[in-house]
Each structure stands twice: as C-alpha cells, then as structure tokens.
Structure 1
Amino acid sequence: FTKSLAMTLLSEIGDNTFFATAILAMRHPRRLVLAGCLASLIIMTILSAAVGWAAPNLMSRKLTHHITTLLFFGFGLWSLKEAFFGDGDDDELAEVEAKLDADSKAKTGTAKTKSKDVDELKKKKRPFLTQFFSPVFLKAFSITFFGEWGDKSQLATIGLAADENPLGVVLGGIIGQALCTTAAVLGGKSLASRISERIVALSGGVLFIVFGLQSYLSTAE
C-alpha cells in the first residue's frame, strides 16, 4: 500500500495528465472534470493491478520478481535522466495547453450557434446521472485514459502488483490518484505552473531506485 501510494504520488504529480486535468478544470465544471479523470484512473489502476496479479500465474514467480526489479531500476534511471537532462519546467505545461487549445477550437467551430440559455435549460432537464456522462466527463475520461495508457506509472503498477499484495497496490494507487487529481482540479494552472518537474522527477527516480534495491535484496516467494 505504502509503496503504491508513494510511487503514484511522485509519478503523477507534474506529468502530462496532471497538467491536462488542471487546464480542463479551469475551462469546465470542476465536478465533471474530477469525476471523469478519477473514473478513468480508477479503472486504469484496477486493470493494471489485475494484469500484475495474473502475471505470476502465466510465468514463474521468480521471473516476475526479476522483471519487477528491472522495471524499478529502469524507471528510476529514466526519471533521473528526465531530472538532469529534461526540458524546462514550463515546456510540458505549455505543450499540453497548446494541444487542448487546438482540440477545443476544432470542436467549437461548429457549435457557436447554440445559446447559453438553451444549454442551461437542457442541463436542468437532464437527470442527475446523465449530467456526469456529458461531453465534458467523456473528454476528461478519454484524455486521462489514453494519456496514462503505457505510461511508466501504469507499468510500475503492473510490476508492483505482480510482486506485492494486489489489493494494497490498488488501494494505494487509487488514493494516490485521487489526491493528485483533486490537487490538479482545485489548484488549477497556478498550482501546475509552480510545480518543479525536475524535483518531482528526481524524487521519483530516487524512490524507484530504492524500490529496485529492496526488490533485488529480497527473495521471490
């Protein structure tokens, strides 16, 4: 649980998904952005842990243990490389914002004829649940889901679940994701712009190396 929580916090703070969530929360209702992002991250965490849990049944426990150890060392070195040789702190935020701006302009070009009064009337007539499955919810869900797919945090979750208690990994991951997403939604762009990507990457790299050493020194069951 503790490993999963710490790993998630240091992997997710300051990444593309964090910045995208912060920018979306400034442009759309916060509750819908939060609901969409959290739903996506919870599903992703459960799926990743399930894959990790199934891995020892498909191959030997010793092999999965060694793969997990290599993943930790690999992600640690990757994060340290980003910390020392990566771009400036503002580049990633600006890049994410530019992508969202381009996407927003493309989609709103044909939707300007609708009046706000009509939109508000439709929202009031909608059932409570259908409001959450609105275009904003689906946009937040899809951006987060595809942004996290194949990310190092997802692969690390798979490796951790293969070597540790999957339930603890899921709980730690979900709580970590919830904390990061809530911070992004409430803090917005001002918080995102103050986060030093170098410090986060350095901290994450050290943490992954420590996990790798711990995994290397321990024996597979």
Structure 2
Amino acid sequence: MTFSIATAAIVFALIFPVELPDKTFIATLVLATRYPPLQVWLGVASAFLVQTAVAVTLGGLLSRLPHQPVQILAAAMFALGGLLLLRGASKADAEEAEAEEEFAAKASAPATGLRAVGASFLVLFLAEWGDLSQILTASLAARYHDPLSVGVGSFTALALIAALAAALGRTVLRYLRLATIRRIGGIVCLLLATLTVIELVR
C-alpha cells in the first residue's frame, strides 16, 4: 500500500475547515476545562483514530465497486455535507452554547490519568459517531482509491483540531466565528461535489 503526501495534504485541507466548526471542537474545549488538556487530547485523538480507521475501511470497500456509482455517491455525500454546513451556519452560535451545556453535563466529575483519557475517548467516540467528517473521509477514500493517505490526512486534521481546542479553545473562538468557518467548510464541500460531477461527465 503506497502513501501519497499530496493526497494526504488535500484531505487535510478538506477535513480541517469542515470539522473545525463542529461539536468536536466544543466538546474537547469543555473536556479540557474538567480534565488535564494533554490527557483530554490523548483520549479524543484515540477516538478519532478508531473512527478514521472505520471510515477509510468503509471507503476502501466502496472503492472496489464500479467506478461510476462510487463517484455519484461521493458527489452526493459532498453536496449533502456542503448544504448541511451552509444551512446550519446561521445557528452556529446557538448550537455552540447548547453543545457546551451538553458536554459539561457529561464531564461533570473531575478525573486524571487513564480515567480522564478514557472519559474523553468515550464522550467523543459516542458523540461523533457517524459525524460529517467520517462520511467525508469514507467518500474521499472511495474517490482517491487510497485509504492510507486519506486516513493519515483526515486523522492529522482531526488531531490538530483537538489539540487547538484543548490548548487554545477560548482564544480560537474569540477570533474565529463558527458561522464563518462553517460557511467556508460548506463551500469547500460543494466545490468538491462539483469537481466530482465534472469528472463523471468527462
């Protein structure tokens, strides 16, 4: 199995703006106020690693199907993701407050060490299962026929977002509006859907 730095970089650039305005960032931020930030990051990153592995495995299986149906499915997933992000952009601030309350309740008991890592893993794993980033990762793995490169790019983006949230969460939110980031992510997804359709037509 070969590894392509270019493919990994493309996937990173696509996943990062899509996942940054997601509940993942808020959940990690809240967890980092309850538990040691490094232990939160280890738990959250571990959850992302498992979820990414499942997504690229699914994408790898899809890539074995006839090329045209796979491309149609990928274009549909990108378009759906873009529309969902754009539609939810205006509600981003309200959803941020709701997400903070939700995850604060789930992480009410203080913990350290492996308990903090395990609690962070469990909260993110259950909350983000079937998340948009997973769907996009599977679609990208099917589109590029390169699960390893897609997996590395996707996991790196998710792990970096978790690190930013754990270390600089409030500072990031002070300078970046979630609604704006969500619109950028939506445009990126729609652009990718358009490119996939152009490839199909050709």
Shift of 1:167: 1.6
1:15-164 correspondence to structure 2 within 5 Å: 15-57=22-64, 59-83=65-89, 86-89=90-93, 91-105=94-108, 131=113, 134-164=114-144
Code of the aligned partner of 1:101:
A
TM-align CA RMSD: 2.1
CA distance in structure 2 between the aligned counterparts of 1:7 and 1:170, rounded to whole angstroms: 13
Summarize deviations over 1:73-124 as a string: whole Å, max 9, x none. 12112212122xx3252x223212212333345x57xxxxxxxxxx9xxx8x
2:11 is the counterpart of 1:4:
yes
Unaligned runs of 5+ in 2: 1-7
Evaluate the alpha carbon distance shift between residue 219 and residue 207 of structure 1 in structure 2; reply closer, same or farther with a 3 A threshold: same
TM-score computed with the length of structure 2 as normaliser = 0.87
2:185 is the counterpart of 1:201:
no
Q: What percentage of aligned pairs have identical amino acids?
A: 25
- Aligned 8 A contact 2:55 2:134 in 1: yes
Question: What number of residue pairs does the alignment pair up?
Answer: 193
CA distance in structure 2 between the aligned counterparts of 1:79 and 1:88, rounded to whole angstroms: 9
- Give the 3-state SS of the residue equivalent to 1:17 in structure 2: helix
Aligned to 1:112: none
- Give the 3-state SS of the residue equivalent to 2:170 in structure 1: helix
- Aligned 8 A contact 1:93 1:193 in 2: no
Code of the aligned partner of 2:101:
A
- Aligned 8 A contact 2:44 2:162 in 1: yes
- Give the 3-state SS of the residue equivalent to 2:84 in structure 1: helix
Shift of 1:143: 1.3
CA distance in structure 1 between the aligned counterparts of 2:156 and 2:106, rounded to whole angstroms: 30
- Aligned 8 A contact 1:26 1:189 in 2: no
Aligned to 2:4: none
1:180-195 correspondence to structure 2 within 5 Å: 180-195=161-176
Code of the aligned partner of 2:16:
L
Q: Which has the higher contact order (CA 8 A, sep 6+)?
A: 1
Q: Determine which structure has more spread, i.e. the larger CA radius of gyration.
A: 1
- Give the 3-state SS of the residue equivalent to 1:150 in structure 2: coil
Evaluate the alpha carbon distance shift between residue 170 and residue 103 of structure 1 in structure 2; reply closer, same or farther with a 3 A threshold: closer
CA distance in structure 2 between the aligned counterparts of 1:9 and 1:15, rounded to whole angstroms: 10
Evaluate the alpha carbon distance shift between residue 38 and residue 191 of structure 1 in structure 2; reply closer, same or farther with a 3 A threshold: same
Shift of 1:198: 1.3
- Aligned 8 A contact 1:5 1:172 in 2: yes
CA distance in structure 2 between the aligned counterparts of 1:142 and 1:177, rounded to whole angstroms: 16
Runs of 4+ in 1 over 4 A off after TM superposition: none
Shift of 1:187: 0.6
